[in-house]
Chain A
Amino acid sequence: MSVLSHLPAGAQSTAERPRDSGGRRMSDESFINLLVASVAIVLFLAASAMVPNFFQFQNMVNLVTNNWAVISLGVGVTFLLVSGNFDLSVGGQVALSGVLAVWFAQSTAGANPLATGLGLPTWLAMACALAGAMAIGGLNALFVVRFRVPSIIVTLGTMMVARGIAKVITEGSQRNTNLPDDFGALGNLAMFGTSIKFPVVLMVVLVLVAVFIERKTVFGRLTYWIGANPVTSRLSGVDNARHLTCLYLFSSAIAGVVGILLASEFKSGFSARGTLMEFDALVIALLGGVAIAGGFGSVIGMFFGALILAVVTSAATGLVLSPDWQFILKAVAVFLAIMTQTWALARRNR
């Protein structure tokens, strides 16, 4: 560019030029990721010392595979949190898309209303169910972006809308009869000749793609900019509205797929499925160092946050604590983890 050609170019004024040597300081995000990963490992080792048979390869795999649904939801929730917005509707969307998929796929000649559906082919039923979940995402975007209602309120509302529709369709319980045989295929598909199922592989791919998007693409940069300061991003030419709409649709697409896969796995559309999943997705993101005010955090951190939660929960089960204690244990873990992060970050940047 011609602008500034009169000013000394960086190459000529080596004295003032910032060095780009190997001693580059780790970013705060990498620091937090490392911290969260370390905490997950330390907790795993501590649990191994206390719980018999905890330290096994299969157990490590289970910690990840048992949580594929929440981790998948966490990806969308993390992107939205980084942009400074909440999505509390993902749990409701899981229920809605599952119920819709089943209802659309059930054959038309059922013995009772709950056994009677629209008789669509499985693939079409699932696609329509996904569209149903994304309609909720569109509703979120409409109210947050267009009418400027705080996202926590909007998604609290759509959370109930989504689950409410699911309840109406299932008459408050579930639909699980009169389904075509291929409906259960996707959710139970074992991959690579192992016991690892398709949804788990999909989650791993999703996390990897999300990390790429977050780190390497303009889309990822836009998410951080909007979260760090929406006024500045607008005045720098960013179309905040369009980007947030994409993020809500992205999040609801994930929730829709998760709901459909769960419905396929259990061959049922259950209106209470995914209850509290929106909070678990939020908790693992926060455990993973995502800032609730936006502009900071990463999918990798969220992933290790999920592992922390998984270790704590399964160790509690292994210690034969009554399930009633698990909530309190989770709460303690969340508080400690978040306080540690705040403290470590403040100390580092002192």
Chain B
Amino acid sequence: MGFQVSDQRFPYVLSIEGLTKDYPGVRAVDDVSFSIERSTVHCLVGENGAGKSTLVKMLTGALEPTSGRMQILGADYAPASPSEARERGIATLFQELHVVNELTVQENLTLGMERSRFGFLVKSDLDERVVATLAAIEPSIDPAADVSSLSVAQKQIVEIARAASSGANVIIMDEPTAALSEREVDRLFDVIRRLRETDVTVIYISHKLDEIFKLGDAVTVLRDGKHIATKKLADVDGRSELIEMMIGRAVFHDYAPRANVSDETVLTAEGLSNDLLKDVSFHIGKGEIVGFYGLVGAGKTEIARALFGADPVSGTITFKGRVVDHSPKSAIASGIALVPEERRTQGLFTSLTIARNIPIMNMGKLSDRGVVRSADERATAIDYVGRLRVATESVDKYVEKLSGGNQQKVVFAKCLFADADLLLLDEPTRGVDVGAKTEIYDIIRTLADEGNSVAIFSSELEEVLGLCDRIFLLFDGSLEDEVANGPDVDIPHILNVVTGGAQGAVP
């Protein structure tokens, strides 16, 4: 799509040309160009890591592009900060709500825009304007009501009204339906349609493809940081075309069926349910690598944490023939270890040295009656750093000084030292460079070949297809399907299921 400006009026509210963002070693957004028509709902889709959030951060002034340029209604736009972006008419609706519960709806709407004289608030036309905006998009909300009495969906609408009444002509919504019920989603969609009628453009980001077909006028697909296509949704040939654009024609995977997967079951989970999970049941075999694949919010992390005893869950988990007590401590004692999703905040002590990080899960092995054998402790750290090839000159180095890949290897070292029979790996290669990624995959295969079981919780299809013997497909907290991996695995089917196709309406 080219960049066009007509003389009198601008058909495009926002134009992006050659936008690029480099991080050390990674090009997150690569020469992206497209334009967004005025008064439309423009959807942005792509797999995790496709560059959507980086792009949005550049639009909202949270990140500075490495190169490229943007224009709003034909005028150059290079926001230096989120507040400048707001002044230029670009508002963002975040997943977390930013409303003040203690104030009324109207007070929330005028928050930060109040007029005052000598420090006292004065009435202005502002109040009338915001009330009118709210009435136009959602008449059922009383401006005098306390925000604390509203539902999550209504609070979200208050936020949208605030953005609209502050003169935003573009509102970016990032997964706005994540916390909403089905009926609330419909109401939100009505609001978005009414916004469109008031000359507001909505950039809508969602993994749920049904929503995109229901609501969107146009869609832009990103993949690996590159712009794949911008199309009118009317011209898109159903979910399958969209999925194809998102993942590309050929998904590279080098999975080879592994010889020594035994029939012996090591873990059985029955009817796992909690806030998000809906009656999830499965089993994992000894020496098997299983994958849990699904999009953000599908319940991967929740299953991992439930198996590990980190979060409350109902249902039963049987490991090596015994029902596991529900705590990380007893999970580790019975032979389950977790590489958590967020390595810096959940997996590591970044302010401590490598030598002090590695032994924690199995201190009994390095101590006599509570007294640490310091020499053994150190030797263990050195041993594991060597085996996992953590690039460091010393085990006395502080973990915060290591690169992402090497930090992740330290988390692996921790879990391997725990002598676990079942390793739960939640997004094991997120934010890890390509070299370290390959090494981590080798470690995982080696572990399984030695008879350990591995469960990988990943939102990267390539990773799951490259490693796992069986793949569980998740959508919206329930286990929708299970597929055996192999050369002829049905990728479109997998993508259809994880984007809601098994429950969905659109073919």
**At the interface, yes or no: B372 with Cβ under 8 Å from chain A?**
yes
Decide yes or no: A25 and B396 within 8 Å by CB, A228-B352, A229-B350, A235-B340 being known contacts. Answer: yes
Cross-chain contact B338 with A235 (CB below 8 angstroms) = yes
Residues 387-414 of B contacting A (Cβ, < 8 Å): 387-389, 391-396, 398, 414
> How far, in angstroms, from A8 to B447 measured CA to CA in the complex?
13
> How far, in angstroms, from A19 to B394 measured CA to CA in the complex?
6
**At the interface, yes or no: A195 with Cβ under 8 Å from chain B?**
no
| Other-chain residue from A6, A27, A232 in contact with B347 (beta carbon distance below 8 A) | A232
Cross-chain contact A224 with B356 (CB below 8 angstroms) = yes
> How far, in angstroms, from A235 to B353 measured CA to CA in the complex?
18
Cross-chain contact B329 with A238 (CB below 8 angstroms) = yes
Query: What are the residues of chain B within 8 A of A20 when measuring CB–CB?
Result: 378, 382, 395
Cross-chain contact B348 with A10 (CB below 8 angstroms) = no
**At the interface, yes or no: B429 with Cβ under 8 Å from chain A?**
no
**At the interface, yes or no: A344 with Cβ under 8 Å from chain B?**
no
How near does chain B come to A135, taking the closest CB pair, in angstroms?
26
Interface string of A1-18 (1 = CB under 8 A from B): 111111111110100111
**At the interface, yes or no: A148 with Cβ under 8 Å from chain B?**
no
Residue of B nearest to A229 (CB): B349
How near does chain A come to B375, taking the closest CB pair, in angstroms?
10
Decide yes or no: A235 and B308 within 8 Å by CB, A3-B450, A4-B447, A18-B395 being known contacts. Answer: yes
Cross-chain contact A217 with B386 (CB below 8 angstroms) = no
Query: What are the residues of chain A within 8 A of B389 when measuring CB–CB?
Result: 13, 16
> How far, in angstroms, from A231 to B305 measured CA to CA in the complex?
13
Residues 90-104 of A contacting B (Cβ, < 8 Å): none
> How far, in angstroms, from A20 to B381 measured CA to CA in the complex?
11
Cross-chain contact A16 with B386 (CB below 8 angstroms) = yes
Of B34-42, B359-367, B482-490, which binds chain A? Answer: B359-367
Interface string of A218-238 (1 = CB under 8 A from B): 111100110011011111111
**At the interface, yes or no: A296 with Cβ under 8 Å from chain B?**
yes
| Other-chain residue from A1, A16, A237, A295 in contact with B328 (beta carbon distance below 8 A) | A237
| Other-chain residue from A9, A218, A229, A238 in contact with B383 (beta carbon distance below 8 A) | A9
Interface residue range, chain A: 35 or more
Interface-central residue, B350, B387, B393, B416, by most chain A CB under 10 Å? B387
Cross-chain contact A2 with B450 (CB below 8 angstroms) = yes
**At the interface, yes or no: B259 with Cβ under 8 Å from chain A?**
no
| Other-chain residue from B340, B356, B378, B387 in contact with A10 (beta carbon distance below 8 A) | B387
**At the interface, yes or no: B374 with Cβ under 8 Å from chain A?**
yes
**At the interface, yes or no: B333 with Cβ under 8 Å from chain A?**
yes
> How far, in angstroms, from A44 to B383 measured CA to CA in the complex?
46
Query: What are the residues of chain B within 8 A of A233 when measuring CB–CB?
Result: 349, 360
Residues 8-61 of A contacting B (Cβ, < 8 Å): 8-11, 13, 16-20, 24-25, 27-28
**At the interface, yes or no: B449 with Cβ under 8 Å from chain A?**
yes
Query: What are the residues of chain A within 8 A of B391 when measuring CB–CB?
Result: 16
How near does chain A come to B161, taking the closest CB pair, in angstroms?
36
Query: What are the residues of chain A within 8 A of B331 when measuring CB–CB?
Result: 237
Chain B interface residue count, Cβ-Cβ cutoff 8 angstroms = 54
How near does chain A come to B194, taking the closest CB pair, in angstroms?
43
Cross-chain contact B452 with A3 (CB below 8 angstroms) = yes
When A and B form their complex, what is the total count of cross-chain residue pairs whose Cβ atoms lie within 8 Å?
134
Residue of A nearest to B420 (CB): A3
Query: What are the residues of chain B within 8 A of A295 when measuring CB–CB?
Result: 349, 351-352
Decide yes or no: A10 and B386 within 8 Å by CB, A1-B419, A232-B347, A237-B333 being known contacts. Answer: yes
**At the interface, yes or no: B443 with Cβ under 8 Å from chain A?**
yes
How near does chain A come to B250, taking the closest CB pair, in angstroms?
31
Residue of A nearest to B340 (CB): A235
**At the interface, yes or no: B370 with Cβ under 8 Å from chain A?**
yes
Residue of B nearest to A26 (CB): B396
| Other-chain residue from A8, A13, A221, A237 in contact with B356 (beta carbon distance below 8 A) | A221
**At the interface, yes or no: A239 with Cβ under 8 Å from chain B?**
yes
Decide yes or no: A232 and B349 within 8 Å by CB, A3-B416, A7-B443 being known contacts. Answer: yes
Interface string of A311-350 (1 = CB under 8 A from B): 0000000000000000000000000000000000000010
> How far, in angstroms, from A216 to B414 measured CA to CA in the complex?
20
**At the interface, yes or no: B310 with Cβ under 8 Å from chain A?**
yes
> How far, in angstroms, from A5 to B361 measured CA to CA in the complex?
20
> How far, in angstroms, from A231 to B341 measured CA to CA in the complex?
12
| Other-chain residue from A8, A224, A225, A235 in contact with B387 (beta carbon distance below 8 A) | A8
Query: What are the residues of chain A within 8 A of B328 when measuring CB–CB?
Result: 234-237
> How far, in angstroms, from A224 to B351 measured CA to CA in the complex?
10
**At the interface, yes or no: B307 with Cβ under 8 Å from chain A?**
no
Decide yes or no: A25 and B348 within 8 Å by CB, A16-B386, A236-B414, A238-B360 being known contacts. Answer: no
> How far, in angstroms, from A51 to B297 measured CA to CA in the complex?
69
Cross-chain contact A217 with B349 (CB below 8 angstroms) = no
Query: What are the residues of chain B within 8 A of A3 when measuring CB–CB?
Result: 416, 419, 447, 450, 452
> How far, in angstroms, from A258 to B264 measured CA to CA in the complex?
60
Residue of B nearest to A228 (CB): B349
**At the interface, yes or no: B346 with Cβ under 8 Å from chain A?**
yes
**At the interface, yes or no: B385 with Cβ under 8 Å from chain A?**
yes
Query: What are the residues of chain A within 8 A of B442 when measuring CB–CB?
Result: 7
Decide yes or no: A18 and B386 within 8 Å by CB, A4-B416, A295-B351 being known contacts. Answer: yes
How near does chain A come to B288, taking the closest CB pair, in angstroms?
16
> How far, in angstroms, from A217 to B338 measured CA to CA in the complex?
25
Cross-chain contact B382 with A17 (CB below 8 angstroms) = yes
> How far, in angstroms, from A24 to B382 measured CA to CA in the complex?
13
Cross-chain contact A7 with B394 (CB below 8 angstroms) = no
| Other-chain residue from B363, B372, B383 in contact with A216 (beta carbon distance below 8 A) | B372
**At the interface, yes or no: B345 with Cβ under 8 Å from chain A?**
yes
**At the interface, yes or no: B446 with Cβ under 8 Å from chain A?**
yes
21 intermolecular pairs with C-beta atoms under 8 Å apart = A1-B419, A10-B382, A10-B383, A10-B387, A16-B389, A27-B396, A217-B367, A217-B370, A217-B371, A218-B363, A218-B370, A220-B372, A221-B356, A228-B349, A228-B351, A235-B310, A235-B340, A236-B414, A237-B418, A238-B360, A295-B351
- Which 7 residue pairs spanning A and B have beta carbons closest together? A10-B386, A237-B332, A228-B349, A17-B386, A236-B360, A10-B383, A237-B329
Give 16 A-B pairs besides A9-B383, A217-B372 with Cβ atoms closer than 8 angstroms. Answer: A10-B385, A18-B394, A19-B394, A20-B382, A25-B396, A216-B371, A218-B371, A221-B372, A225-B349, A225-B356, A225-B360, A229-B350, A232-B345, A235-B338, A237-B328, A295-B352
